[in-house]
Structure 1
Amino acid sequence: MTWQLRRARAADVDAIMALETRIFVNDAWSVQAMAQDVVNPNCYYLVAFPPDEPDRIEAYAGLQAPQGAREGDIQTIAVTEEARGRGLGRTLMLSLITEARKRGVREVFLEVRADNPPAQELYRRLGFEELGIRRGYYQPDNVDAIVMRLHVPGPKMQTTPADAEPEAAE
């Protein structure tokens, strides 16, 4: 299956919250918090949907990174059970990291549940490193959070000296 990504809009909050409350049963965000972040210019939220069904949100992810800030935070990411294991979470994460880089961010942080090894492994494969533990962070389940950080490399530029002459092909 393929998905399309687009920037989340205020009209997507109900669909995002339906997914949020289904996946994060005990520690879902409030509608108000999600609605504020989706429209906040300091945040960047994406939704994923099947190309022929733009109202069927299968996943979403959000980044908080004010323009020019050195640090950003992956606020949330969720993928439906049906869409997991197909690279959609990775694609969303890479899109958020790309946006963070565009905004000037050099370090991206996130918290991940200690009881979610698949997510931890994804983040490690993307280059995140474990910094520490927040005991009992996820309530009411009293589950620890693993704090992770990614160093975001700056954009690479290739420069050619102005007086350099192109090499002749033989």
Structure 2
Amino acid sequence: MSTGRRIHITRPLKCEDLCSDVEEVFLMSQNKRQEAGFSLLGMLIAVGIVAVLAAIAVPKFHSAVAKANTAKIQADLSTIETAMGVYALEKGVFPTSGDLSALDDYIVDAKNLKPPTGQCLVNGELTTLSDNAAYSIGKAGDGEEMRALCDGKTLSAFGERKSTGSGNQS
């Protein structure tokens, strides 16, 4: 038994009536299709804007990470050199060992003090530290006193390039 509604046609169907009904349904579906989502052009514009923003943000992020790594290395080397100074005041000589073991009494957890991985600024140039980079104590050049080193470089090597001030003075 069918529960559907039955339609009683009281007048004969004409082709014009049927065509106008089909045309009306077609126009309604066209309107819905035009309103039913994002256009391809709109999506391309949005993707283009995101790409431009990413192209600007990614280098700035890498630069910020390199500056943060450089600041940590500078702070660590400064701490090590301060500890070396205190060591020299108490013992009368600078520590001579290559690693930081002589400074265990002056730096908390000196054994685990490691430079960050990734890029940093050395003499103003972006440089990638080696994976086995470490802090040490040594001479940076011939005849120099003992200094704190990171991957063989002193505190003054890390950071932006310093101006030499070679202008003529009158």
Tell me, yes or no, whether TM beats 0.5: no
With normalisation by structure 2, the TM-score equals: 0.20
Higher helix share: 2
Larger Rg: 2
With normalisation by structure 1, the TM-score equals: 0.20
